[in-house]
Structure 1
C-alpha cells in the first residue's frame, strides 16, 4: 500500500511526537532517579520536604560562623561572648566549675534550647556554654547544613581545648546536642585533645548519616560516657551510645500526632531539660518496646534517664512519659 504525500507527512509527525514524548518521559525518569525527597523537621517548628541530593557541595565554615555564649548564675540571661584564644573574653567563666554545653540543630538557634540553659543555671553552679551556629544551620537546604557539621564540630573541639588550657577539667564537661547538633557534639568530643566527661545526643539526625564513619558522627567513643535519647522516626533508630533511651518506644511521643514529626523530634530536648532538675524518668533495661509494654522487663535494672543517668550505665532502656509537662511519670 502506498501513502499519499500528505498522509506520509502526518505519519512522520505522529512518530516524531511519540519520540519527543518518549524523550520527555526518559528525562523525567532520569531526574526522578536523581532526586531523593524526604520530610525533615527544622528548628523553626515546620516540616520541610527536601531533596537530599540537591546542593551537596561542602561550604566553608569559619570561626565567625560559630559563637560561644557563656551564662552563669551571675549572668543567667545576658550572655558573655567567649572567643577562642582570647582569655580576656572569659568573663565570669571559672575553671573550677563544671561546664555544660548545648548545641542546636538545623534551622534553629540557642533559643530552642533555652530550657536546658535555664535548667542548668537552676541546678547548680555551672559554666553554661550555648553554641550558636545558626549561620550554617539556617541554610534552607538540608544537605549543606549537614555537610557543615564536621567543621562546626572541629571548631567546638578547639574551644574545648582552649578552656582546658585555661585550667578547666575536660572530665567535668558535658556536651548536649540536638539533631544535627548531636553529631556536632560527637565530633567535638572525638576531635578534642582531652576526653570529655559526657555527651548527650538528643534524637541525633539520621538523614545523610547512613554509612558515615563513626569519627564523623556521634558515637560511644566520643566521650567517657555517651547517652542517647531517641524520640522520633527522623532520628537515629539504632543504639549509638553507652546507654540508649527509647521513651514511648523512641518513634512517636505522647501528645504528638503521627504526622507531627517535629513534635516527637523536639521532645528529646524537652525531656532532657526536665531531667536536669528531676530524676523521675524511671527507665527499665529492655531489648524491645514490645517486651517493655508486655511487662517482660519489669524486674530488670532501673535507671533515671537524662542528666541523672549514672556514667557507668550501659544498654538499652525504655520508659513511658506523659504527653505534656511534667513529662516524667516517676
Structure 2
C-alpha cells in the first residue's frame, strides 16, 4: 500500500458554489455547527459520462460506476462552519482530466460539521465502516482492491487509514493530506512541513491564518494534476540537509529518478521495484502562489582567494527574450576555500530554457567594515529539473561584495559534465 502524507497545519474554513440542479454536496450553516449534526454519509459518483452532475450511489445502486476501472474516493475532514470544501469540484474535475476513472466524493458533512473537533473525529470510524460495506459490494461485482485509491484530507486521511486497515493494507493506494509524523511509505514535507510561503504568519491574517497552511496540501496536490507544474521532491534525512544540497543525487544523470509530488508519486520506479518499500521522507520547496513550482539548479563555484571567505550568493538568470528569475542562496552562509568546489542549491520560480545572461552578487551580510572580493576560478550552472541540458560555465570572475556582476555563460567543456 502506498501512503503519501503531507503536514500543513490546522483547520479549514471554506466555501463553494454548487449546481443545485444536480445532487450536491451537503451545505450546512454555522448554526448547525453549534448545535451539532448527526452522521449521514452520502456517496456522489462522477465519471467522464457525468463530469458535472453527480450520481448518488450506494451498495445497491451503482449508477455509472464501472468496477473494472480505478475508483478514487475523496474524503474531506472537519467542517467547523458547515460549508462545502472550496477545492472539491476542482479536484474532481482534475482527476477525471488525467485518467478515465470513477471519482466518488464521500460527503459526511452531517457529522463533520461541528465546532467541537472531537465530536467530528469520533465519527470517523463509522464513516470508514460505511465505506467498507460499499467496497465489499464493489468486490462482489468484480472490482479489485488494487484499483481502489483513497485521497483523504485532515480527518478524511484518518478515515482512509481506517479503511486501509480493514483490508490489511491491501488497498491500491492512499494519499493523506494533513499530518506531521512520518506514517506512510513516502512522506512529503513541503518547505519543511511547517509554515508555508504566502500564508499569514500572525493571527492578523484573519481566517487565512488558521486554514492557509493546512489547506496548502490540497492545492499542492492539485498542482500535480496540471501539465504545467511538475514538483520534484528529494529523499533526505532532514530539511536542513536538503536545503544545503546534500540530498539531490536522484536528479543527476545515471542516478535514480526523483519522486514526484502528488498524483504521479507512484511513478517512482526505483521505489516501486521493492517488495516491501521502506518509509521514505522527501523534502521540497514551493513558490508562494499557484502553481507553486520551484525549479532547482546547482551552482558550482571554485574560488582562488588566499583567505577563506564566508557569505551568500544571489544569482539571477535572463533568457533571450529578457525574462528574468532570481534566487538568493542564503539558507546557511557558504564557506569558500581556495581550489575547493562549493555546490549551492538554487531555487527559481521560473524555468528558463535558453539562459543568455547570468548575474552574481556576493555578500558577507556585514553592513559595516571592509568590502571583500570573491575570486572565482570557475562557476558552473546545472539544472536538476532538466539534467539533460548541458551545464553553463564562466571562468576567472572577481565579485566585489554587494555589487552585481553580469556575464554571458558558455557551454562547459564535455570533460566537466
Q: Same fold (TM over 0.5)?
A: yes
Residue 310 of structure 1 corresponds to 266
SS in 2 for 1:303: coil
Contact 2:192–2:283, Cα closer than 8 Å, also in 1: yes
Q: Distance in 2 between matches of 1:110 and 1:81?
A: 18
TM-superposed CA distance for 1:276, in Å, is 2.6
Matched, 1:238 2:181: yes
Matched, 1:320 2:290: no
The higher relative CO (CA closer than 8 Å, separation ≥ 6) is in 2
Instruction: Summarize deviations over 1:292-321 as a string: whole Å, max 9, x none.
Output: 111111224621011111272640000011
RMSD: 2.4
Q: Does 1:254 align with 2:197?
A: yes
Measured in 2, the distance between the counterparts of 1:258 and 1:166 equals 50
Cα distance, 1:83 vs structure 2: 1.2
Contact 1:102 1:176 in 2 (8 A): yes
Greater per-residue helix proportion: 1
Query: Residue 14 of structure 2 corresponds to which residue in structure 1?
Result: 44
1:112-261 equivalences in 2 (<5 Å) = 112-192=87-167, 195-203=170-178, 236-259=179-202, 260-261=209-210
Shift in alpha-carbon separation, 1:185–1:141, aligned structure 2, 3 A: same
- How many residues matched? 243
Question: TM-score, length-normalised on structure 2?
Answer: 0.55
In 2, the alpha carbon distance for the partners of 1:43 and 1:168 equals 36
Q: Does the CA-based 8 Å contact 1:109-1:132 persist in structure 2?
A: no
Task: Kindly report structure 1 stretches of 4+ aligned residues shifted beyond 4 Å.
Answer: none
Q: Where do 5+ consecutive residues of structure 2 fail to align?
A: 1-8, 16-33, 203-208, 251-255, 296-417
Distance in 1 between residues matched to 2:100 and 2:183, nearest whole Å: 30
Q: Return the offset for 1:60.
A: 7.0
Question: Residues 110 and 129 of structure 1: is their aligned pair in 2 closer, same or farther, counting only changes over 3 Å?
Answer: farther
Give CA deviations for 1:117-158 in whole Å, capped at 9, x if unaligned: 111111121100000000000012111101111111121122
Q: Could you say what secondary structure the match of 2:135 adopts?
A: helix
Tell me how far apart the structure 1 counterparts of residues 13 and 137 of structure 2 sit (CA, whole Å): 29
Runs of 5+ unmatched residues, structure 1: 1-38, 46-54, 204-235
Q: Counterparts of 1:112 and 1:310 in 2: how far apart (Å)?
A: 23
The 2-side partners of 1:147 and 1:119 are apart by 31
Shift of 1:40: 4.7
The DSSP-based 3-state class of the residue aligned with 2:187 is strand
Range with bigger deviation, 262-271 or 251-260? 251-260
Which residue in 2 is equivalent to 1:100?
Answer: 72
